[in-house]
Amino acid sequence: QSVLTQPPSVSEAPRQRVTISCSGRSSNIGNNAVNWYQQLPGKAPQLLIYYDDLLPSGVSDRFSGSKSGTSASLAISGLQSEDEADYYCAAWDDSLNNWVFGGGTKLTVL
Amino acid sequence: EVQLVESGGGLEQPGRSLRLSCAASGFTFHDYAMHWVRQAPGKGLEWVSGISWNSGSPGYADSVKGRFTISRDNAKNSLYLQMNSLSAEDTAMYYCVKSMAATIPEYFKEWGQGTLVTVSS
């Protein structure tokens, strides 16, 4: 059972938009930044979004992040087959004094 | 270019020990906190441990506290994870991860390719 809650899977057609939710509590998302990681099949994770809504250099602007209260979302627009991957949210938890992850969401581009 | 190269994984029996290493290059190692994050086969990511730039107050997940010890050698640009009393639940890919800053609660910026640890009799 992960501390942050994500849907196990989402799917959408090419060129459409999809959102992935990440739900937590005041000790993690409510009080700290959310970061998102993309893990392509067979690869190591890589940073996708940091500080809730900022894109690292080199990441497509088709990806965007947002946060409200104790929940965060990752949106991907103009879906492409290469976006098929697992997506994880993460945040520091002040109560646990730990990093916590969501369980991951598998994105399928139909 | 940041490079993080893990080593030391392999097959080990329950109750035994393993020591993972991570060789870092392409950045000023002693300026950044470092972490170990693991992923069991077919499962999600789990933070294992983190250490600040000066090795002060390392953090551990409850699942490994008292069994694993994180350390670093800034002179050798290296990160380590001493894993004792291994159990099957420790079977996972272990990633060496660079923070974006000197302290533990900052996000993970770059990841190594991982080293696989399998605990089985």
- Return per-residue pLDDT of chain B as tens, 121 residues: 999 999 999 999 999 999 999 999 999 999 999 999 999 999 999 999 999 999 888 999 999 999 999 999 999 999 999 999 999 999 999 999 999 998 888 899 999 999 999 999 9
Between chains, do A98 and B110 touch, taking CB under 8 Å as contact? no
Between chains, do B107 and A47 touch, taking CB under 8 Å as contact? yes
Q: Where are the alpha helices (DSSP H) in chain A?
A: none
Cα gap A68→A30, rounded to integer Å: 8
CB B86 within 8 A of CB B94: no
Cα gap B56→B69, rounded to integer Å: 13
DSSP bridge partners of B97: B35, B111
Cα gap B61→A22, rounded to integer Å: 21
Nearest to A101 among B44, B95, B109 (CB): B44
pLDDT at B57: 82
Cα gap B81→B68, rounded to integer Å: 7
Cα gap B80→B70, rounded to integer Å: 6
Residues of A in contact with B22 (CB under 8 A): none
Average pLDDT (A32-43) is: 97
Between chains, do A50 and B50 touch, taking CB under 8 Å as contact? no
A90–B contact, CB cutoff 8 A: yes
Categorise residue B26: left if φ over 0, alpha if ψ from -120 to 50, beta otherwise: left
Is residue A74's pLDDT more than 90?
Answer: yes
What contacts B27, CB < 8 A, 6 or more positions away?
Answer: B2, B98
A46–B contact, CB cutoff 8 A: yes
DSSP state of A78: S
Q: How many CA atoms lie within 13 A of B87 on its CB side?
A: 5
3-state SS assignment for residue B62: coil
3-state SS assignment for residue B89: helix
Q: How many CA atoms lie within 13 A of B53 on its CB side?
A: 12
